[in-house]
Structure 1
Amino acid sequence: MTHDIVRTPSWPGSAEVQRVTALLRRESVGGLLLVVAAIAAIVWANSPASAAYFALRDLRFGYEPWHLELSVGAWAADGLLAVFFFLVGLELKREIVAGSLRRRSTAVVPVTAAFAGVAVPALVYVAVVHAQPSLLAGWAIPTATDIAFAVAVLALVGSHLPGPLRIFLLTLAVVDDLIAIAIIAIFYTSDISVLPLAVFAVLVAIYGAIAHRGRAWFARHACGAWVVLLPIGFAAWAFLHASGVHATIAGVALAFTVPVAASRRQPQARGMDLAEQFEHRFRPLSAGVAVPIFAFFAAGVSVGGGDGLLRAATDPVTIGIVAGLVLGKPLGILLGVRLLTLVTRVRLDPALRWIDLAGVGLLAGIGFTVSLLIAELSFPGGSAHTDDAKIAIMAASLLASVLASCVLLVRNRRYKRLALDEEVDADGDDVPDVYQQPPGPGL
């Protein structure tokens, strides 16, 4: 995807800044930073200096009358992660207005896969922990897919995989995030204060009105969003936080007010597509700052030596999450698509094979960012189950990425052998003919 980049005057070091931001827009770099931050947190939390890590994470600052005196870890989870959800909201709206979710024929397969890929892991988790009703609060932990991590792994191992497979994963992950957002809003919101919520709604409407009226100006002036829209967005976030609804939802609500060009072929659509401009500008902030910092403060778990590992390994929460992500996710995705093709006239894209979908299903078992967030919301503060859930998420994400890589690397080698023919498209349907050949035995 191409972006219109607004050129700004050069200043000393601007070239270096532009190189860094361009690097942060790469999917593989964002995923790598996420992993590095999580590993650093685990190492520090289990080192002799672990007390300093937890003291930093629990350090509180802010303004209490506005319900904003939070710990550093809470600021990362509730505040910085709203930037990530803002990017998710932009992707969702663009997909709904002008992307793959616009047409039912192309959206129905990955959307069905996403819903089934949420339902089956939740059922697997419930089946594992049903004997202990107090643990059922964590049912949503294995339902989420980390879009940044999953796409990063796909970018590393799938250089020759068919394009529709990546679109399938992106659409599935985006819908998965939308479901996760709805789950957080419905099931992990306690008491709601109506007045702050009403003020939040008014501020979102103001934000959207300004974004629509000033779309051309914001597209030309990169600093406009920071000066005009950011203060309104922060105020909306603060009031939503005060209302009792999880504040990350503010990022999605604000993103849905940003104008999107309904068609790439419209005159001046590219220059006026403010959502694309915002995504281009804010992605480095999300990938390079917001998500790694959240992962750093969310992933820091004191294992407690062999006894701690043994406790975590035998905790039904751990078993349920690992089984849900590693087994439930790919099983749900494959079953959902299979049932859809059996009971309807919908068929898979000619470029896709069931073994490719199995690899993507395993990849969807990487539930990192949103799963860690839901884990913190599921159990009381200080509960050992919260730490065990985080250990399970990281172990399952690692296992899912390894298994998915094994499958997709084999498939990638097969497609690479056919690379000489990949540009042949005799029927003009934008799908290389090599991907439309009948599958061989076992494919």
Structure 2
Amino acid sequence: MTTIELLERTKAAWGSIRSASAEEKDRLLLAMAESLEANSEDILRENAKDMEAAKGAISDVMLDRLALTESRIHAMAEGIREAAALPDHVGRALAQFKRPNGMTITKRQVPLGLVAIIYESRPNVTSDAAALCIKSGNVCMMRSGKEAYRSSHAIVTALKAGVESVGGDPDIVNIVEDTTHASAQVLMTADGLVDLLIPRGGKGLIRACVENASVPCIETGTGICHVYVDRDADLNMAVKIIENAKTSRPSVCNAEEVCLVHCDIAKEFLPKLKAALVDKRREAGLVPVELRLDEAAAEIIPGTAATELDFDTEFLDYILAVAVVDDLDAAIAHVQHHSTHHSDCIVTENQAAADRFVDEVDSAAVYVNVSTRFTDGGEFGLGCEMGISTQKLHARGPMGLDELSTYKYVITGSGQIR
């Protein structure tokens, strides 16, 4: 089946879900979760094939993104169940007002239609995206990268079986069979079929979609995330936050890539940072973080000399660019120049400094004394994650049910004419 034919088939299934009741959608979702776990053996077998084929072709950190386990499949199923437990916003009145001529205008939330997701090596995106699309009354078309195709196809097969088991139309979720650039191009230009395109992956994929799509497209997720350690920071807290933001899962877009340190506390703080990220991790048999230091930081601790490019790189690895800045103004200027407007953090006990950072840093998520790793739909209470939008129109930050919706105006009256 061609990609266009599959899109047409998926769009035709929209009628079975867009007006479904909350109870009907939740029944589908719970059946999908159950089927996902029931078919875990098949999914893991296909994932093992993907892992074997990817060894040597992608980094160990990226292999971790690709890998599935029983516990990860269980977490995916729980994500679907959490989506089912969310309030159903489809059809709700966002606003209502009455005009002087007696007509009533209601702004009503409605589904988008067909949401297409192009993603790379994270098979869990498959179930997350499907759950949020169905809960919000949409149908979805997956297009996995070749590294994760076997895993993603097995997941979709399980989800479709769950839908069918409770009488739903299995075509509300489908996966593109072609993993070449041609199928991605079809999704980008399927006007009238694709109502929203969401790319999830590296900078190249996102840029290609944004530049080439004729369908509505969300710019997601490249995350050059900063943590600025202010002069008035609790230094032990700062180390703890940075350790989590950099090392808990470095391959994700909300991992920290740049650390900025106020010059007044750099001599005290940087040795603490090196001890936590390099020395203690090496002693514990963990991967130490490579610190890429600007000239001022290199005068205080040993590391790799940073180039200017290091402050504009999403490493997705155990690498952290470190710079010493003169003051809060310099920190904000640095973030504004180098940030991808994803997630940026200040660590400080000074409320005035925190307020200025929050007001002046133009990112989708701005943190005060919190790890950037919380930029995630599940952690925000929005359900499993569709993606992180770094643009400003329609959706920004973690995309949940509301971001997979649009609205229409419903006008009722008693024969009014203009």
> Under TM normalisation by the shorter chain, which class is it?
under 0.3
Structure richer in strand, relative to its length: 2
Compute the TM-score of the two structures, normalised by the length of structure 2. Answer: 0.24
Q: Which has the larger radius of gyration?
A: 2
Structure richer in helix, relative to its length: 1
Compute the TM-score of the two structures, normalised by the length of structure 1. Answer: 0.23
Q: With CA pairs under 8 Å and 6+ residues apart, which has the higher RCO, 1 or 2?
A: 1
